[in-house]
Amino acid sequence: MTVFFSLLAGALFGVGLIVSGMADPAKVLGFLDLGGAWNPSLAFVMVGAIAVGTLAFAIARKRTLSFLGLPMRLPTERHIDRRLVTGSVLFGVGWGIVGLCPGPALVDLGMGQPKAIIFVIAMVGGMVLFEVVEMLRRPRTAHVR
């Protein structure tokens, strides 16, 4: 049942990205072009998403189980550190250069967009690189006998 609702949520999210124009890199870049032909339409999409997210988190905070009966696991970390800021900056720069972020890139990949293929390969490469760096950063646990 969980897999079905996960698939449904993903499909709904993908359709929302297409309908809102977030899967169109040209529209996203138009939104980010504050000094040129600025397209404010995505600001309305963002405000709507923030409103829905705020409501969803308010409801979720009052629950111990999800609607599917699974344990409710919400983020607890509130600390802003160098890693968070660095990741945010890298995300923003990538979004500004390409006009895609992970969700829309997967939608565009499903539509066969060549730009999305390169983006998704680079995104997966970045994820693998991150995991390798994290593995090297973790202290090695000594085997105690």
DSSP designation for 33: -
Tell the burial category of 37 from Cβ atoms under 10 Å away from its Cβ (0-12, 13-18, 19+): exposed
C-alpha to C-alpha distance for 93 and 40, rounded to whole angstroms: 19
Q: Which tens digit of pLDDT belongs to each residue from 58-89?
A: 999 999 998 888 899 998 888 999 989 999 99
What is the pTM assigned to this prediction?
0.72
Exposure string over 2-21, b if 16+ CB within 10 A, otherwise e: eeeeeeeeeeeebebbbebb
Q: What's the pLDDT at 34?
A: 86
C-alpha to C-alpha distance for 33 and 118, rounded to whole angstroms: 23
State the greatest distance between any 2 C-alpha atoms of the chain, in Å, as a whole number. Answer: 67
pLDDT in tens, the chain (145 residues): 889 999 999 999 999 889 888 888 888 888 888 888 888 888 888 899 999 999 999 999 999 998 888 899 998 888 999 989 999 999 889 888 888 889 999 999 998 989 899 999 999 999 999 999 989 988 766 555 5
